[in-house]
Amino acid sequence: MITHRTLRTLAAAIAVVLPRRLRRLVHTHLLGYELASTASIGHSFIDVDRLVLGERARIGHLVVMRGCERVVLGTGAVVLMLVWVNSVRRSTGYFAGLESRRPELVMGDHSMISALHLIDACDLVELGDYAAIAGFGSIVQTHAVDVENMVQDARPIRLGEYAMVATHCVLLPGAVVPPRSIVAAGSTVTKALHVEHQVYAGSPARPARALDPAMAFLHRTTSEIA
DSSP letters spanning the chain:
----HHHHHHHHHHHTTS-HHHHHHIIIIIS--EE-TT-EE-S-EEE-S-EEE-TT-EE-TT-EEES-SEEEE-TT-EE-SS-EEE---GGG--STT-TT---EEEE-TT-EE-SS-EEE-SS-EEE-TT-EE-SS--EEE-EEEETTTTEEEE--EEE-TT-EE-TT-EE-TT-EEPTT-EEPTT-EE-SB---SSEEEETTTTEEEEEPPTT-GGGG-S-SS--
Closest to 144 in 3D by CA, of 119, 177, 122, 170: 122
Other beta carbons within 10 Å of 11: 18
Residue 226 confidence (pLDDT): 65
For residue 189, the tally of other CB atoms under 10 A from its CB is 23
Question: What integer is the mean pLDDT of 159-180?
Answer: 97
Average pLDDT over residues 93-100: 83
Cβ proximity of 161 and 196 under 8 Å: no
Of 17-31, 79-93, 115-129, 147-161, the least confident: 147-161
How many Å apart are CA 156 and CA 143, to the nearest integer?
9
pLDDT interval class at 221 (50, 70, 90): confident
- Rounded to two decimals, the pTM is 0.95
Residue 123, pLDDT > 80, answer yes
Q: Which residue has the higher pLDDT, 226 or 219?
A: 219
